[in-house]
Amino acid sequence: MTDHGELPPVAEPGVTAALSPDTATEAAEALADVEEQMMQLAAYVRGALRDSALRIDPALQPFGLKILRTLRRCGPTHASALAELLEVDRSVISRQARLLEDLGLLELAADPADGRARFLAATPLAMEKMAAVPGGDKSLLHGRLTSWPEADLQQFALLLKRLNSPDGAR
């Protein structure tokens, strides 16, 4: 804050301003705090995903649950489209699909438009088991964020969108 209670100006993306040693240290400390909080958030999300997967089936891997949730949201999907959505190699989808099939949580269906192609689809058993997980369809963070004021949620969403954009632009 300035002496008049105003926030200091924010540098434009890509513009490097000359920082005083104190300002550079404060900026480095703030960045370290952000990184620490992001690591804690990622650990929480990984843990919650792992716990949800275990509740569905002890052999279900967290990435397998991500596949099932995507199929629940999108419906039957080609493996290549699923790989693109989840930003992984198609071989990862193939391996997980075999495991999910073995658990009775995924089925392959012929594509009516191309008999050689197959759709991956969550089975009724998978849908039933996902619905039975405490918290069910609510996101992992829903319980933590539901009490936040709407303005805070909107600001948080904007900041995450900025962080997740390819260039970090505003």
pLDDT (tens digit per residue) in 63-81: 999 999 999 999 999 999 9
Phi, psi of 134 (to 5 degrees): -55, 135
Q: Check: CB of residue 118 under 8 Å from CB of residue 78.
A: yes
Burial (CB count within 10 angstroms: exposed 0-12, middle 13-18, buried 19+), residue 146: exposed
pLDDT at 67: 96
Q: Check: CB of residue 112 under 8 Å from CB of residue 78.
A: no
pLDDT (tens digit per residue) in 77-95: 999 999 999 999 999 999 9
Q: Which domains does the chain have, with CATH numbers?
A: 22-149 (1.10.10.10)
Mean pLDDT of the chain: 84
Question: pTM for the full model?
Answer: 0.69
pLDDT at 17 exceeding the cut of 80: no
pLDDT (tens digit per residue) in 100-147: 999 999 999 888 887 778 899 999 999 999 998 876 555 667 778 889
pLDDT at 5: 46
End-to-end CA distance of the chain: 21
Q: Which amino acid is at 126?
A: A
Tell me what percent of the residues of the chain surpass a pLDDT of 90. Answer: 55
